Structure 1
Amino acid sequence: MYKATTRGITVSVTPAYLEGQSDPEAGRWVWAYTIAIENGGTETVQLRARHWRITDAHGHVEDVRGAGVVGEEPVIPPGDSFTYTSGCPLPTPSGFMQGSYRMEGEDGSSFDIAVPPFSLDLPDMARVLN
């Protein structure tokens, strides 16, 4: 598991290779990642947007931005958490992701929290963050 804490909000990531959805002969490897966002702060926050930097084994970087996560903009009160699972295809058998979430506080102010870099590797490969 990978973790990062920003302003009392902890983001934990657990990646998993999806062999059944991957097709190495066609140059497609797929991972799922489960993210838990735990609000250890003192105010209710809402996740408004995401930004991902996805890097494959050749060093190609793709930036992905969008509203919310998995079609939601969850509200997370202090002491509560939100967990979701999503996926990422790559054209190489390894890579890594990192990013941030744009959060909104109770007063309407926005701030970014870090999503830790996490490795996307086949189960029998050593984990390496490039």
Structure 2
Amino acid sequence: MSWHTIEKHALRLKPHKAGTSISDLHNLRTVLSNQYLQDQVRRVLSAAWLAWMLAIATQQLIRFFPSPDAELNGDAFWTYLPNARRFLAAPWSYLTTDALNFYVAPLSYIWPAIWGANPVITQVANSILYLLCVL
């Protein structure tokens, strides 16, 4: 066995710098474009899925959304909206001295108070919050 034969086999095992040939650049470009296309397809399919889910959720909201002149829920009419109005009128005195503050869940009147104790706007805000939860 000659030295050249041993060296030839040893050089096969030796790590070497990858040369940048035209075929290597073409292969790299192909791999990157395939990955880019896969990412684009994944994004489009995800967006389509979310759009479909939001469309279904919006249909359900429209189906069950009460009309603006409909009678309010008893809890909203007798508890949450009056407490929200009292909170808006005098926040500190309501929180510290009014006994009605303690008859409801802690700060449950804040959500309707954020929307001005308006039942229609509160229902719209609840619907938007629901759609955001779907996302």
TM-score (norm 1): 0.19
TM-score (norm 2): 0.18
Q: Which has the higher contact order (CA 8 A, sep 6+)?
A: 1
Larger Rg: 2
Structure (1/2) with the larger strand percentage: 1
